[in-house]
Amino acid sequence: MEKILLTCVECPMGCQIQVEVEKGEVLSVTGNTCPRGKLYAQNEIKCPMRVLTTTVKTYDGKMVAVKTDKPVKRESMLSLMKKINAITIDLPVKIGDIIIENLEGDANLIATDDLQ
């Protein structure tokens, strides 16, 4: 059995959570003060997810700040960055514009900055 320590990021409390894992299965979760902490720990062990934040090139050489509108699998980050780095977009761009639809699953890559 393996014990893994995590800091929950689901709320500002930042609970220190201990997860007992055996053969990839979560046996127990302790240290969380709310149900979100238990779910976070289980997901972090099984399939960690992250919001991807980066920039995209524009044809005039500027960079546009972007992020996924939903968390994506952490293991997919490298392949997603390759897709993102391969594109160049036109201006203008407004906050919330979809830069790449369905980048992974139903997660879109959206602009987080206005740029003319």
Domain locations in the chain as residue ranges: 2-46, 53-111
> For 80-111, what is each residue's pLDDT tens digit?
999 999 999 999 999 999 999 999 999 999 99
For residue 10, report the phi and psi dihedrals to the nearest 5 degrees.
-80, -20
Measured distance CA(96)–CA(22) in Å, rounded: 42
Give the global pTM: 0.84
Q: How confident is the model at residue 24 (pLDDT cuts 50, 70, 90)?
A: confident
> Selecting from 3.10.530.10, 3.90.260.10, 3.30.43.10, 3.40.1160.10, what CATH number does the domain 53-111 have?
3.10.530.10
Measured distance CA(61)–CA(53) in Å, rounded: 19
**What is the pLDDT at residue 65?**
98
CATH of domain 2-46: 2.20.25
User: What mean pLDDT, rounded, does the chain reach?
Assistant: 96
